[in-house]
A and B are shown apart, each in its own frame.
Chain A
Amino acid sequence: MEFSEHIKTANVEDVVLRQPLHPPSRGTLCITGHHLLFSDREEGSSRQLLLLLRNIDAVEKRISGSSGTITIKCKDMRVLHLDIPGMEQCLNIAHSIETLSCLDGVAAMYPFFYRPSDLSLQNQWGLSSTEKYYSQMKELHNRWRLSSVNRDYSVCPSYPPAVIIPQNTDDDMLKKVAKFRQGGRFPALCYYHRKNGMVILRSSQPLTGANRKRCREDEHLLQAVIDGSDKGYIIDTRSSQQAQQARMTGGGFESKSSYSHWKRLHRQMERGKALQESLIKLVEACGDESHNMDRWLSKLENSKWLSHVQTALSTAGLLAECVERDGHSVLVHGSEGTDSTLLISTLAQLIMDPCCRTLEGFLALLEREWVQAGHPFQQRCAHFAYSHARLQQESPVFLLMLDCVWQLWRQFPLALGFSEALLLRLATEAYASDYGTFLCNSHQERCALGVTENTHCLFQALLRPTERDYYSNPLYEPTELAIWPSVHPQSLQLWRGFFLRWTQQARQLEEAQEEIRNMVIEWGKMALS
């Protein structure tokens, strides 16, 4: 496919760009297959804006007389205005942006063309994998094994090729279990708690259906997990009513009679559309330019975003409590097991495990729990909160997770090895990126497109020496202790660094934090020298 067929006007002179935090500037606008490029004409103070078209969520055009204004709302919350002379040019540009910003073909996306001079495609791709995790956790080996039953993705299309399962569960059994779980997502280990040997598994819902079907192999697998212990917990991220209702459409839950040693706990977490609508309301409130902000707190409350943050953190806290304090293994699932399941298993690991709190550890965690575990990034992050397109599968679960991590970071300013800048960067990259990491919906899809061979890995790039400093927390002091977040509404804050990031205020704070970072680094160097 040629991009050029979508570009009727590639260059426009004498365009005025208005963007947050900068005075308006006049210059040349240029549209390429993947970018919007603006360079101002002022001598000496030349400024450029290079915007990935993929980053554009909505385009609005207003024609008046012989010129027009295009308003561009980005997925990183930036709102830009372009005053373009010439009605036709304006319409052409708007049309190009609209079309190119949401082309479907993954293989034509920018990561496949991005070739910076300081990165080589030969570099290692990724940081972690199931195999690596298994080989690091020697303690696992006598009771758990690495299975390659999914090597061709036929057992579970959204799982990676390797999975960790109980030693005495053979691959044939797994195939049967997979048939009993939605999307084939059978229970697999995602975390081993070294302190007490307990584990977290995740899966999708069992397909018990209206007539309460059972699956001996599924029951056997779960029994094997808690072998030698009195019980395990199942945290179902739906209310028990929702779980009951799921049976009508073929889903269901683990009944007490069939899984007598497992105790089910239901915690209703908002998902899908409701979450996306919450984000839309919040972003709308944040972008409200009117000076009458009397109702700001009510608007914030009405968006319910912070209550989703609260639910996520408290459910993750519950999960961590079961494992760390209560000393039991836990299976987590909702329905599909690709969204809220990943959200709470990620947060629980951060709460409990100091290894996940370093910069590398956190990125590796995200790689295992989101990228490899099959969070459908392409569907969930197709649009941000501005788009006029009809909502499909969009849902800001990953962003919600980053927000929860930010809350942890705020409550425990010394305990996490990475900076707020990392969370902001990840929030941006998930929606539009030069890198291949967040492309596609599953390992299988990435493999089919050769993502690892043909794109660069974001996580590797973030760990380059120049970047690493910027994304590290200079105040970091590792602690072995669990970090239990307070989830009272009074302890939770709007993540201003993200949601109000294009305000002067956020910029000032960012600068101050940067200053603090530099100070601490500089003192450290001097004091040691």
Chain B
Amino acid sequence: LMSQLGVSDMREDVAEVKSINNVCICLFSDKDIIYICPFSGAVKGKVLITNYRLYFKSSDSDVAVMLDVPLGTISRVEKMGGASSRGENSYGLDITCKDMRNLRFALKQEGHSRRDIFDLLFKHAFPLSHGLPLFAYLTQEKYEENGWNVYKPMEEFRRQGLPNNKWRITFINKNYELCDTYPTVLAVPFKSKEEDLRRVAAFRSRARIPVLSWIHRENQAVIVRCSQPLVGMSGKRNKDDERYLDMIREANDTTKLTIYDARPNVNAVANKATGGGYEGDEYQNAELIFLDIQNIHVMRESLKKLKDIVYPNVEESHWLSSLESTHWLEHVKLVLSGAIQVADKVSSGNSVVVHCSDGWDRTAQLTSLAMLMLDSHYRTLRGFQVLIEKEWISFGHKFASRIGHGDKNHADQDRSPIFVQFIDCVWQMTKQFPTAFEFNERLLLTILDHLYSCRFGTFLYNCESARDQHDVRSKTVSLWSLVNSKMDIYLNPFYTPESGRVLYPVASMRHLELWVTYYIRWNPRIRQQQQSPVEQRYKELLALRDEYLKKLEELQLSDSSPSSRLANSPTPNTPSSTSSTPSQQYTHLQTPL
């Protein structure tokens, strides 16, 4: 069947299709269907549906249209038109996707083919609603690398220089008894006792106590994350919580601890009504700053508005003001500028605590972006994977609720593009610092594609305890297995490691761009860059770079005095000029050999 349909000329991943194929059940094929393409009009073709994807190929060779949509991407399937429908192509299916597109198919009324396709799609796009397993549990893909080994919490703590005499590692949560949405291994102030942690947990929403995310090697300032304190209407206090925050401040001996509350001030106040709140004046030696970032519902509506102006038709006449009215870039700006404040505070030697309400959405955005700015390790291909594993996955960003993997309930109020927004912020940073990241845009696109695809276990479930319960690590494949098995396509040839450098992106509207290559990528009329020649050229450049480094190494071996001096010199942030000297050029090329 596959060959009959010409699946072999699928653009990419032929090998993957085959390996998925082992368990890929062909559910439906060879039926004539009309794809109502918003760009080329009605296109006749054949459809193939497996338990992983929907594949469509036009049968008319004049209009080459191909669709390859993982069923996980689908958020909603609807029938359009009824038995009485008149008019051409008014009877069929409407499919809403999570990745900024919708699909529309027209079918013949005779022969129940619509019912068959609808039932299949409905069942396999939303397996959890039908008591079926997610596709990640069915696939038997094999990779050279095991992506589950990318992140080991203890190793990451050791890399940061922990434990030390101010911070200790605790296993108090090894059975998720302290906090069921936290990871098992936590770093807390050295002075704090286990019973302190338990008392603090009682005063923090969902027991998400303040724990260390990152420590500055030189000045020992830390980023600590948590949820809101349970102050409530009556303005409750908790001496243990107050003392605990003061221990965090004491750990690097500064006069003041800065608490960043990601929310707008009014929202924080409103949270008191439901038992939450924020740190008041009773927290001595602490200052509280609100970062004005809106909640998940506002972000969801904003992205929905953005989709309305880019799909299927892009707004032409008042593009910029329409874009402005979605507020998407403004939200991106606020998240970035919040992270910049956090990074700046830490890099000047002050410890910070970051929280929002529950500490799993805005908090994750802020801590991970600040860490990306502060620590160049996270800007490498593997380091970035660690950052996502650590700050997002292990600390319980509710991927399952935010994305709705395999769930038919498309209107769930828990859905929100918080992680997409984070990746957008990362993209903005890569645009502003084109040599500072080891990975390229393709990695970001791949991550977002598999955020929905359900092919890998990486983004499944809400927290570590749920992942343990469902044996994610043993029964599914990690996305990083795919990425790390063919790393070269995700590498930025111009990457120049600068280990000490703190990146401060400009979070001004004037310097932010809409990520057109993601949000508007389905529109063939919007050309961004000729993606393939650029990628081809990137590969050539990577080869050139490797050859260069090899030659450099040979030089170092044969003549240790001058070239080793060059190679061992630290990599300062050299603003090069037109007349950059050879030694400056060498320093740009420091790559771990």
A48 contacts B by Cβ under 8 Å:
no
Q: Which residues of A contact B529 (CB under 8 A)?
A: 410-413
- Chain A binder among B145-153, B206-214, B316-324, B347-355: B316-324
A504–B507 Cα distance when bound, in Å, is: 12
The contact of A490 among B310, B324, B329, B544, by CB within 8 Å, is B310
Q: Is the CB of A512 within 8 A of B435?
A: yes
| 5 cross-chain pairs, A with B, having the tightest CB-CB distances, nearest first | A489-B319, A301-B320, A297-B324, A486-B527, A523-B544
- Chain A binder among B91-99, B119-127, B251-259, B508-516: B508-516
A514–B516 Cα distance when bound, in Å, is: 25
A113 contacts B by Cβ under 8 Å:
no
By secondary structure, the A interface counts as helix
A124 contacts B by Cβ under 8 Å:
no
Q: Which residues of B contact A411 (CB under 8 A)?
A: 527-530
Q: Which residues of A contact B552 (CB under 8 A)?
A: 526
The smallest beta-carbon distance between A453 and chain B, in angstroms, is 30
The contact of A306 among B320, B533, B578, B584, by CB within 8 Å, is B320
List A473-529 residues whose CB lies under 8 Å from chain B.
Answer: 475, 477, 485-486, 488-491, 493, 496, 500, 503-505, 508-509, 511-516, 518-520, 522-524, 526-527, 529
B593 contacts A by Cβ under 8 Å:
no
Q: Is the CB of A413 within 8 A of B506?
A: no
B14 contacts A by Cβ under 8 Å:
no
Q: Is the CB of A526 within 8 A of B525?
A: no
Q: Which residues of B contact A509 (CB under 8 A)?
A: 432, 434
Supposing A505-B511, A518-B585 touch, asked if A490 and B516 sit within 8 A by C-beta, the answer is yes
A11–B59 Cα distance when bound, in Å, is: 80
A305–B218 Cα distance when bound, in Å, is: 48
A516–B528 Cα distance when bound, in Å, is: 21
Q: Is the CB of A519 within 8 A of B530?
A: no
Q: How many A-B residue pairs have CB under 8 A?
A: 137
A37 contacts B by Cβ under 8 Å:
no
A99–B80 Cα distance when bound, in Å, is: 73
Interface flags for B564-593 (1: CB within 8 Å of A; 0: not) read 000000000001111010001110110000
Q: Please give the residue numbers on chain A whose beta carbons come within 8 Å of chain B beta carbons, in ascending order.
A: 286, 293-298, 300-301, 306, 410-414, 470, 475, 477, 485-486, 488-491, 493, 496, 500, 503-505, 508-509, 511-516, 518-520, 522-524, 526-527, 529
The contact of B511 among A297, A306, A496, by CB within 8 Å, is A496
Q: Is the CB of B533 within 8 A of A516?
A: no
A337–B488 Cα distance when bound, in Å, is: 52
B224 contacts A by Cβ under 8 Å:
no
Q: Is the CB of A477 within 8 A of B537?
A: yes
Q: Is the CB of B510 within 8 A of A515?
A: no
A to B CB contacts below 8 Å, 7 in the list: A470-B578, A493-B513, A514-B577, A515-B494, A515-B496, A523-B547, A527-B548
Supposing A515-B494, A522-B589 touch, asked if A488 and B545 sit within 8 A by C-beta, the answer is no
Q: Which residues of B contact A500 (CB under 8 A)?
A: 510-511
A503–B504 Cα distance when bound, in Å, is: 14
A470–B579 Cα distance when bound, in Å, is: 9
Residue in chain B with minimal CB distance to A507: B575
A505–B552 Cα distance when bound, in Å, is: 32
Residue in chain A with minimal CB distance to B317: A489
Supposing A411-B528, A516-B494 touch, asked if A527 and B330 sit within 8 A by C-beta, the answer is no
Supposing A512-B433, A526-B552 touch, asked if A490 and B314 sit within 8 A by C-beta, the answer is yes
The smallest beta-carbon distance between B585 and chain A, in angstroms, is 5
Supposing A490-B314, A514-B576, A527-B551 touch, asked if A504 and B506 sit within 8 A by C-beta, the answer is yes
The smallest beta-carbon distance between B235 and chain A, in angstroms, is 34
Q: Which residues of B contact A295 (CB under 8 A)?
A: 324
The smallest beta-carbon distance between A490 and chain B, in angstroms, is 5
Q: Which residues of A contact B537 (CB under 8 A)?
A: 414, 475, 477
Residue in chain A with minimal CB distance to B577: A514
Q: Is the CB of A515 within 8 A of B551?
A: no
